[in-house]
Amino acid sequence: MVKHRPWFLFVFFGLLVVATRAPSMPGQLFTFDDVNLSYAAGHFDIRSSQPQPPGYPLFVMEMRALEWLHFRRAESVLHALGLLGATVALLLVVLAGGRILGGESGYYAAWLLVFHPVFWHASLTSALRVQLAVISVAVGWACWRAFTGEGRWVLWSALALGTGAGIRPEAGPLLFPLWAASALRAKVSWRYRAISLAAMGAAVLAWLLPAMFASGGPSLFVKACLDYITDQASVSSGLFGASESRWAATFWQLMTWTFCGVLGWPLAAVLAWRRGKGFSLGRQRAAFLALWIAPALAFALTVHVEDPGQTLLIIPVVCLVGGFLIDRATANAGAVVSAWDTAIFAGLALIVAGVADRHNAEVIVLLTPVACLAAALVIKVEQVKNSGLPLRAHIAILLLAPALLLNLVMFYHTGWYYRGSATSGVMAEAEHTLEYMNSGLALTSYEQIAKTLALDDGTVREVRHLAADRPGKTWVIWEEGPTAWRKIVYYAPALPVAVMNHKKIRSGSPPVVAIWNGSKIVRHMQGAEPLSLTVPAGARIVWVLWPKTEFWDLAQRAFPMTAAGAVWYTDLPPEHGARILGEYEINW
């Protein structure tokens, strides 16, 4: 299978990616970050979140290259990069898996990755995060060649890491320990190691210095990056101020996103095991794989992970291990088979079909691994020499089928969210864990994409409709609304949007008001409470708020608010007036 030329694999997986992704691509910029990247393609400055720190300068260059090739819409640019990034990642997984783990490990790993819910979700919603997989596998592949004695790859892996960090800067320090270990193990001189490290530094400076000077200089760039990461980490890490329950949510969501695909492996894992030989992975490979993923896991747990796509530095490595197990299992089955193979395969198919027919995703996810494990254990009984059948390709399909089934179920199931009823004791802890794991699956499902698009599209459409009734006299006030304010200013650039927020995400930071027109900030206010916002008398205020929140209650008591879809509006009187809403005051 993997004997096909790289161009054939690229075309094959490219067509598979397009067929499974293109029909579901969002028709709008999906996230706050996408809008930032779109603005950055015109003017790069991380101080204005164009894009958000630390900047991703080489990814912005990719966007500009596609614009030069006459991709006119930012949505089309990101869609193309998402599809291309996913295809390149799969090709690299095939090539790297064959080199690192042998046999057809990489080919099977690519099948595990292509339908992995996190990879699938990211390739639809975040072209930037998909490239974490590209960087991870490219650097891992290059480092392995240095690790196993190909000295010249110390330099090439250094250049790969330095360049990849320009696309996703966090990948640089997280993959550097892998490069350092590979460089130290390679049989090259210290002078060559120093030259390679200098080449890495030069590659980093080639994108870092322009990014710094486009953002006000090195000191302002570094300050913006530090402020951003500490503020973001305060949401998910107990070390930076997150609550114990929020840190527990981070842990279980991370485990779910990273290892949910492992549920489809029991059949392959049991058949890959040989008495006296184990899995035959070897200490060298195991150590290399551990060095590959350990820093990224530690960073996610102790600093920040908030989105499923941020785990794509790790997930391809997990899929490579799964591909290795399938390769070993098919090799073992090529030597001996069970006398009960036909009955076992038929029974397993009936069991899985019966489970799937219940249309209960939770039951499928729980019982399919159990059924596969039981079948694998029975296959180990009464084994005889293989006379040539079943073919290895048939066995590989059987081993891949449970993983593909579970990936499809996890991605397409609706209603993953779960809320327990216990309030204390062991049962409450167990139910909280289930809540966190289910929310992890929900956040990487197609349902989450569809609901977000429907809500955002409806919100933006209603805002524009209400503004059309009062041209030149409409203001938008946003305070923790259901749709990101950045998307509203992007799709309604003529409207003044007052963003009522806090200086930092962490609690206790002072309130601020920022008034935006498109990508330009018109005014930024911070000071003593209540912080005053002045709008024209007789204007229409469109409120973009979460209902039933404290601010929504204050606004309801202070103003007559008329519901309009997912938003509300107030037509102010022509006379001057003022109302206080907690930390803010609105004057007209």
pLDDT digits (tens, 9 = 90+) for 512-530: 899 999 888 888 888 778 8
pLDDT digits (tens, 9 = 90+) for 89-143: 999 999 999 999 999 999 999 999 999 999 999 999 999 999 999 999 999 999 9
DSSP 40-65: HTT--BGGGTBT-TT--HHHHHHHHH
Regarding pTM above 0.85, the answer is yes
The lowest-confidence range among 12-16, 284-288, 385-389, 441-445 is 385-389
pLDDT band at 310; cut points 50, 70, 90:
very high
Task: Give pLDDT, residue 429.
Answer: 86
Q: Under a CB-based contact definition with an 8 Å cutoff, are residues 53 and 228 in contact?
A: yes
Rounded Cα–Cα distance for residues 566 and 120 (Å): 28
Q: Is the pLDDT of residue 443 over 60?
A: yes
- Report how far apart, in Å, the C-alpha atoms of 8 and of each of 1, 86, 87, 443 are: 11, 16, 12, 34
Mean pLDDT, rounded, for 299-315:
92
User: Which of 130-139, 222-231, 412-421 reaches the highest mean pLDDT?
Assistant: 130-139
DSSP state of 388: S
The lowest-confidence range among 176-190, 461-475, 493-507 is 493-507
Q: Is the pLDDT of residue 382 over 70?
A: no
Q: 351 or 483: whose pLDDT is higher?
A: 483
DSSP 440-466: HHHHTSHHHHHHHHHHHHHHHHHHHHH
Domain boundaries, the chain: 6-329, 455-587
User: Which of 249-263, 401-415, 515-529 reaches the highest mean pLDDT?
Assistant: 249-263
Task: Give pLDDT, residue 510.
Answer: 84
